[in-house]
Amino acid sequence: MVSHNQLFFMRFEADPFKSPPTLSSSMFLEESEIIRHRIMRRRILFSLLVLLACTKLGSTAPTHCLQGCTCDRTPESPTIICDRANMTHFPLPITNPKTSFNFLQLTCNDIRTVPDYDLIMQAFPDLHGIDFQGNLYLNCTSLEQFARKLAIMSDCHSSEKLSCQKTSTPASKPRNTASKLGDLWQDIKQFNKKINVKQMLKDFFGRSVNLDSKMSQF
């Protein structure tokens, strides 16, 4: 498409001896309007690209990680918080594993049975501990499988049951829970480390020896 300016010069070049026609103000206004629209389109396109990029980045860190739950992604204690989520079953997102989370807070629900350790680790590969407090009818026997494998908090062997009344401060609980589970997890790691060292020494000497005095050095 030939613009008004190009048409103007084409006519002048065709007959250079003829006085060039004057461009009307409407022609200049129309040309400036076209330029203004082009600038606006470019700005809108740039804004859309920025918005698309931000949306894509934000999608890698969703606020909700399980239905009825939220994610606390602090680097020191990433936690999936399912406090008071009306759960009757242990969540198992095996088809969409929740990686990079160390702790799972399932307080104040109605969970009664717990799946096998291997299934839980398939759903939460980086899990270090689970808080079961506030599940009144939880089968405590099912928690024995986690001994020396996961840090567990529950009301099973506690004289003080967790109060699930909403008078407690919900903001402080997740961090407090993660901190306690983190301490329990460190104890488990230290215990397993000593057991492994003791077994290695037994295998090395090839006989059963009393290593209690030696283990105190670790």
Q: What is the pLDDT of residues 156-194, one digit of tens each?
A: 988 888 889 875 544 445 557 888 898 988 999 888 888
Look at residues 118, 127, 183, 116 and name the one whose alpha carbon lies nearest to residue 150.
127
Q: Reply yes or no on whether the pLDDT at 108 is more than 60.
A: yes
**pLDDT exceeding 90 applies to what percent of the chain?**
39
Q: Reply yes or no on whether the pLDDT at 88 is more than 90.
A: yes
Look at residues 171, 187, 190, 189 and name the one whose alpha carbon lies nearest to residue 74.
171
Average pLDDT for 120-134: 96
Domain span at residue 184 reads 70-188
How many CB atoms within 10 Å of residue 173?
A: 18
Q: What is the pLDDT of residues 44-74, one digit of tens each?
A: 777 666 555 544 444 344 445 788 899 999 9
Does a structural domain hold residue 139?
yes
- What is the three-class DSSP state of 94? coil
Look at residues 171, 170, 212 and name the one whose alpha carbon lies nearest to residue 195.
212
Q: Reply yes or no on whether the pLDDT at 113 is more than 90.
A: yes
How many CB atoms within 10 Å of residue 21?
A: 9
Look at residues 115, 147, 110, 101 and name the one whose alpha carbon lies nearest to residue 132.
110
Q: What is the pLDDT of residue 149?
A: 95
Residue 6 or residue 29, greater confidence: 29
The structure tokens listed for 178 are 């993660």
- What is the three-class DSSP state of 48? helix
Burial of 145 (0-12, 13-18, 19+ CB in 10 A): middle
Does a structural domain hold residue 107?
yes
C-alpha 99/C-alpha 101 separation (Å) is 6
Does a structural domain hold residue 19?
no
Does a structural domain hold residue 117?
yes
Q: Structurally, how many domains does the chain consist of?
A: 1
Cα-Cα end-to-end distance for the chain = 85
